[in-house]
Amino acid sequence: MEALKISPGFEKIMPQEYLDLVEDGPYGRGLTVKDLGTFKELIEEHPLCAGCGLGLSIRLILASLPNPENTVIVGTTGCNSILMPQVAIHNVHALFGNQNAVASGLKRALRIRYPNTHKDVVVIAGDGAVVDIGLAPTMHSWFRREQFTTIMLDNEGYSNTGGQESGMTRQGVVVNMAPVGKKFPKIPLHEVAKVAGCAYVATATPARARRLGQMARRAILVAREIGPTYVQIFCPCSTNYKFPPAETLTRAKETEITEYMIPEAKELIERIEKGPKSRGGEE
């Protein structure tokens, strides 16, 4: 937490936004989605489209980090990558698809350097990055039981590159590069995650904000103690699916909310959530 303070003499010249983050940011306060509106958020403005499901989902994830003061995000190319540089915690732009490989090295390095502090590594990446170009490193990080959380922002296509089909696009949908409709079903990565070694797997929607926040938080806490975790968030894309931005949340409800955890994860979550309010982090 020492790193978050302003060096003496710099108080007057730092931008107001920075002062706000230091004085009223979420660092070290154990805030959650229900506290939104009462503190200076890690993300304030962003360049994503009106009605973007990603922008809202990322806002909810950031508000749910158990210890933002000790969290590093690994992102990758995609719509989210034009938002990430504006997030007020350290974040890495990996190349396209290698986010879980970068996160594997980063998490292990932080464990070497800070053996007594939980430094959470959270991958936030789009569906194409996770399930298509990055499937090998994603699954291999799970097979290796790497202790970080992977969050897929599923907008059912490559939105940033102009609305092409991805593995998460639904069968039959006509989009770019699927000119006569996608030929195969949405890849059930949340099912794959279970057999690949994830200790906690959830499918969420920003339409259920507190539930999404709870799932992101649980995933991060389980990753600290037990093993890899995966959260898949349905984030409809009004730009490429061509529906009015106001319909995003209505459409976001059209997904199944599921939660899976291995017995050790269940035990851990129960212990943390029933116990005295704890921020975790420093041991």
Partner 1 sequence: MPERKVVSPEYMFFEAPREKKYLIGNEAVAEAVKRANVDMVIVYPITPQSEATHIVGDIYAQGYVKDYYRGEDEFNVMSAIAGAAMGGVRVFTATSGPGTLRAFEMFPAWAGERLPIVCAFMTRGVNAPLSIQPDTIEIGWLADTGMLIFHAEDPQDFFDMTLQAYVIAEQPDVHLPVGVCVDGFFVTHTREIVELTPEDEMLPPYDPRISPVVTMDMETVPVRHMKDPFVMKSNYISYNAHASWQQEVRAAAERARKYITRYMGSPVEVLYPEAEVLFMASGTAAAQARVAMERMRAEGIDVGLVKIKVIRPFPEKEIAKLAEGPEIIIIPEHNITGWLAREIKSRVNNNSKIYGGPRVFGGMTMPPEVIVEETKRVLVDG
Q: Which residues would be at the binding site for partner 1 (CB under 8 A)?
A: 3-4, 17-18, 21, 25, 27, 45, 47, 69-72, 74, 81-83, 85-92, 94-95, 98, 101-114, 119, 136-137, 140, 144
Measured from the CB atom, the residue of 74 and 202 that comes closer to partner 1 is 74
Cα end-to-end span (Å), the chain: 14
**At 101, which helix (H) or strand (E)?**
helix 99-113
Measured from the CB atom, the residue of 102 and 201 that comes closer to partner 1 is 102
For the CB of residue 35, give the shortest distance to partner 1 in the complex, in Å: 18
Q: Which two tokens stand for residue 195?
A: 């057999």
Helix (H, G, I), strand (E, B) or coil at 154: strand
For the CB of residue 85, give the shortest distance to partner 1 in the complex, in Å: 4
Angle at 13 between CA 7 and CA 19, to 5 degrees: 70
**What is the rounded distance in angstroms from the CA atom of residue 107 to the CA atom of residue 118?**
10
Measured from the CB atom, the residue of 46 and 182 that comes closer to partner 1 is 46
Measured from the CB atom, the residue of 85 and 185 that comes closer to partner 1 is 85
**Sequence letter at residue 263:** P
Angle at 187 between CA 93 and CA 60, to 5 degrees: 50
For the CB of residue 232, give the shortest distance to partner 1 in the complex, in Å: 21
Measured from the CB atom, the residue of 82 and 173 that comes closer to partner 1 is 82
For the CB of residue 254, give the shortest distance to partner 1 in the complex, in Å: 29
Phi, psi torsion values for 4, nearest 5 degrees: -85, -15
Q: Which two tokens stand for residue 27?
A: 């660092």
For the CB of residue 43, give the shortest distance to partner 1 in the complex, in Å: 9
Measured from the CB atom, the residue of 134 and 206 that comes closer to partner 1 is 134
For the CB of residue 207, give the shortest distance to partner 1 in the complex, in Å: 27
For the CB of residue 205, give the shortest distance to partner 1 in the complex, in Å: 27
- What DSSP string describes 43-86? -----PPTT-HHHHHHHHHHHH-S-GGGEEEEE-SSGGGGTGGG
No. of helices (H) and no. of strands (E), the chain? 10, 7
Measured from the CB atom, the residue of 103 and 231 that comes closer to partner 1 is 103
29, 110, 143, 150 from 76: Cα distances, Å: 28, 20, 21, 12
